[in-house]
Amino acid sequence: MSSSQCRSRKPRVVIVGANFAGLRAAAQLSCRYRVTVLDAMAEFEWTPNIHEILSGVKRADGVKLPFGPAIARYGHEFVQARIVRIDVAGQSVVTEDDQRFHFDACVVAAGSQGANFGVPGVEEHAMKLRRVADAERIGAALDRLGRRKRPAKVVVVGGGITGVETVGEILRRRHCGERFEVHLLEQETRLLSQQPERVGRDAAERCKAFGVDVITGVAVESVSARSVSLDDGRRLSSDLCIWTAGLSLPGFLRDAELKAADEPWLPVRDTLQSAASDALFVAGDSAALAAPIAKQAYHAMDMGELAGGNVDRFLRGRPLKDFRPSRTPTLIAFGDITTWLVAGNAAAASPLLAAGKEAVYLATMAQLDSPWRPVGYTARLASRASRATFGLLLPQLNLESIVAGAKGSRIMLG
């Protein structure tokens, strides 16, 4: 079906945010609707692997895909525009250049952004890691610092998945002869506090084995150009502060009519409908279910799928379905040192599991890439696959590494 047939006068659906949740929602909607997908950015970003840009095993273009063709293949329209307001009563969204897109149903899939928790100096002196451009900036800073004679001091704030994966990539740079003095700070009493205790302990042991100073149970009071001050009175000198602690709603949603002032995220019912309007659905990181779930891409994709399906049911006057989070295992990479696979209370650690994370990345990027453009598709897939093979898999999957990796593999129970 041509896109002009698709875009005749039909019920209008607007999707705000085109990444994991938004793209998946768009895929569920047929041409019986006029679907407009809006995003401030031009390209899809595969965030689960952006930490690898820090060591150079991934390049920015390997984790991005243009939104336009991906959305056009569903017969929908993509518009690059920054949304500044959702007008609930007027059933429309407003862009920063004052365009208004009216809807009969809307999916808000605008994700999350790094939070600074009001800590002085974070915005000016720390580098956040949330998007591909952030990873490129941090990678460039590490390139500069890595050329110094004395080891540069790097403070990574946040001992969750992103912070641990960041430290792993800084350590991977040791193969280029670069040395960094790394501090990893976590406010909770242990690393990876959302994961089983054994995994957090293992992560701390691996960090210490590679000379990383792990400091838990302290909060950062302020960040300056040359230091990070802690609430126990310590001041760590720092050439680079990487901030991975915490997430918050994108600015335009913080004062939206979709939540009470003191709520950090947008509350939704099990159908993913906003408490503010039956015609508004929220999917992905922005949404707060009654029973909270981790802010992860696989949940965002599942929520996007359900939100898209429920928009269709809502507009046809059919009963909606409830969201039930899947129990997808989590893969946490620690450079070339190890990868943890966590499933409920059980976990395994092995350098060989890096291949699993890489396979998820390659398969999803291939699936998202447009099959209607075979030349570009094949070339990009081949380029990603060869980079993945030479940059990441071969160094870890040669005979020597497999033997060492198999020896370093362990099953851990909660």
Which residues contact ligand FAD (rule: CB under 6 A)? 16-22, 38-41, 47-48, 50-51, 82-83, 109-112, 129-130, 161-162, 250, 252, 284-285, 295-298, 300
Name the residue nearer to ligand FAD (CB basis): 355 or 404: 355
Name the residue nearer to ligand FAD (CB basis): 67 or 180: 67
Residues 6 or more apart whose CB falls under 8 angstroms from that of 388 comprise 58, 62, 358, 361, 362
Measured from the CB of residue 257, what is the shortest distance to ligand FAD in angstroms? 15
Name the residue nearer to ligand FAD (CB basis): 116 or 162: 162
Measured from the CB of residue 208, what is the shortest distance to ligand FAD in angstroms? 23
Tokens 């050439």, located at residue: 239
What whole-number distance in Å separates Cα of residue 26 and Cα of residue 18? 8
Tokens 């607007």, located at residue: 14
Measured from the CB of residue 263, what is the shortest distance to ligand FAD in angstroms? 17
- Strand 126-128 to strand 240-243: parallel, antiparallel, or no bridges (unpaired)? parallel
Name the residue nearer to ligand FAD (CB basis): 53 or 212: 53
Name the residue nearer to ligand FAD (CB basis): 31 or 115: 115
Measured from the CB of residue 127, what is the shortest distance to ligand FAD in angstroms? 12
Name the residue nearer to ligand FAD (CB basis): 50 or 156: 50
Measured from the CB of residue 403, what is the shortest distance to ligand FAD in angstroms? 27
Measured from the CB of residue 395, what is the shortest distance to ligand FAD in angstroms? 20
- Strand 227-230 to strand 235-237: parallel, antiparallel, or no bridges (unpaired)? antiparallel
First-residue to last-residue Cα distance in the chain: 52
Name the residue nearer to ligand FAD (CB basis): 7 or 64: 64
How would you label 33-66 residue by residue, b for 16+ Cβ within 10 Å and e otherwise? bbbbbbbbbebbbbbbbbbbbbbebbbeebbbbe
What whole-number distance in Å separates Cα of residue 201 and Cα of residue 186? 13
The radius of gyration computed from the CA coordinates of the chain, to the nearest angstrom, equals 22
Name the residue nearer to ligand FAD (CB basis): 297 or 311: 297
Measured from the CB of residue 295, what is the shortest distance to ligand FAD in angstroms? 5
Helix (H/G/I), strand (E/B), else coil: 194: coil
Q: Show the tokens assigned to 261.
A: 């002032």
The DSSP annotation for 167-214 comes to HHHHHHGGGGT--EEEEEEESSSSSSTTS-HHHHHHHHHHHHHTT-EE
Measured from the CB of residue 376, what is the shortest distance to ligand FAD in angstroms? 21
Residue 299 vs residues 24, 307, 326, 343, 383: alpha-carbon distances, Å: 11, 12, 7, 15, 28
Phi and psi (nearest 5°) for 397?
A: -110, 30
Measured from the CB of residue 52, what is the shortest distance to ligand FAD in angstroms? 10
Name the residue nearer to ligand FAD (CB basis): 252 or 314: 252
Query: Residue 343's CB: how many other CB atoms inside 10 A?
Result: 12
Name the residue nearer to ligand FAD (CB basis): 247 or 404: 247
Q: Show the tokens assigned to 312.
A: 């269709």
Question: Is 99 in contact with 87 (CB distance < 8 Å)?
Answer: no
What whole-number distance in Å separates Cα of residue 350 and Cα of residue 330? 14
Measured from the CB of residue 226, what is the shortest distance to ligand FAD in angstroms? 25
Name the residue nearer to ligand FAD (CB basis): 19 or 271: 19
The DSSP annotation for 57-72 comes to SS-GGGGEEEHHHHHH
Question: Is 310 in contact with 273 (CB distance < 8 Å)?
Answer: yes
Measured from the CB of residue 4, what is the shortest distance to ligand FAD in angstroms? 25
Sheet strand arrangement including 338-343: 330-334, 338-343, 346-350, 410-413
Tokens 């990487």, located at residue: 242
